[in-house]
Amino acid sequence: MASILVTGCAGFIGSHLAERLLQDGHRVVGLDNFDPFYDRTLKQTNLGQCLTHPRFSFHEVDLRNGLDALVDALPADPIEVVVHLAAKAGVGPSVREPVAYLENNVLGTTHLLEWMRLRDIKKLFFASSSSVYGNTKELPFREEQNLLAACISPYAASKLAGEQLTYTYHHLYKMDVLNARFFTVYGPRQRPDLAIHKFVRLLRAAQPIPVFGDGTTARDYTFVLDTVDGIARGVQYLLDNQGVYETINLGNNRPVTLIELITAVGEAVGHSPQLAFQPMQAGDVDITYADITKAQQLLGYAPKTSLTDGLRQFVEWMDGQDPLA
């Protein structure tokens, strides 16, 4: 089994991934900076199961602080694969704070890549985003599409820049890289600022749900454990192969409109939603729709969780966190 560094390990996807990699028999070294975007205690709770595991170690590190921070935290840990999930996430906030997104997602990624180069670590799984496709009219989204003028938010631009950086390090230093574009991941531990989390809280408080636009915007919602399965398969693919540089979509291949989502969340909660229509938000795209053929062929990736089942699991998790949620 391998020794794997997971950046952003205390977050929504990262904590689930750390648990999965430990279950698969790997050793996991976790990094997180506990960004104050949401409550630190939530992230510490996410790590609960990992912290007691004998093959897990954790370091609080901010990648923006440069090589010295990584060298000090990880002076000699034997790392075979890096899974880089750490990032400042969210389209809307990136429009309001573009510099913070570039510092975290571009500069932080560059520091990590330089550390990998100096340590001669040759395997990288990089978490990108469906946001890089912007409002392209080519559906479903395919990895080979030209995205030079696609990004319509600083977050999307920072993620596409990350992909360009990974190619640079692959080209210059023969680093094996798998870039994965995630599509609207949801499920237990989801960040409290995300739509499904907000919708459940509003429904239970008998408050109207804001609908940005006319409700026909659509997202390719992917359950977190399906995404994590794709990452775990990607890690194994990197371990098993040399000379790799690939970009894949990790989505569900089934766009759901905003109105359909709100209806499904209402059914999961057992409340009928009230809708409050509002203008579209800056930076939002009309639709995300993943062609997952390449991930299926390379990794055997096959998302299994229906929206109904995924929402049920999410609501059960929220009930366990706070019975009044």
Supply the mean pLDDT for the chain.
Answer: 95
pLDDT digit string, tens, across residues 246-258: 999 999 999 999 9
pLDDT digit string, tens, across residues 154-194: 999 999 999 999 999 999 999 999 999 999 999 999 999 89
| Length of the chain (residues) | 325
Asked about 237 being catalytic, the answer comes back as: no
- Asked whether residue 106 is assigned to any structural domain, the reply reads yes
Q: Residues near 49 by Cβ (< 8 Å), separated by ≥ 6?
A: 19
pLDDT of residue 114: 97
- Asked whether residue 318 is assigned to any structural domain, the reply reads no
The active-site residue, picked from 133, 155, 169, 301, is 155
Mean pLDDT to the nearest integer, 293-315 = 98
- Asked whether residue 281 is assigned to any structural domain, the reply reads no
- Asked whether residue 123 is assigned to any structural domain, the reply reads yes
- Asked whether residue 51 is assigned to any structural domain, the reply reads yes
CATH number at residue 106: 3.40.50.720
pLDDT digit string, tens, across residues 101-120: 999 999 999 999 999 999 99
The CA-CA-CA angle for residues 191, 192, 194, to 5°, reads: 75
Asked whether the beta carbons of 7 and 84 are under 8 A apart, the reply is yes
- Asked whether residue 309 is assigned to any structural domain, the reply reads no
- Asked whether residue 65 is assigned to any structural domain, the reply reads yes
Total count of domains within the chain: 1
The range of the structural domain enclosing residue 15 comes to 3-183+224-251
pTM for the full model?
0.96
- Asked whether residue 158 is assigned to any structural domain, the reply reads yes
pLDDT of residue 281: 87
Q: What single letter denotes the amino acid at residue 248?
A: I
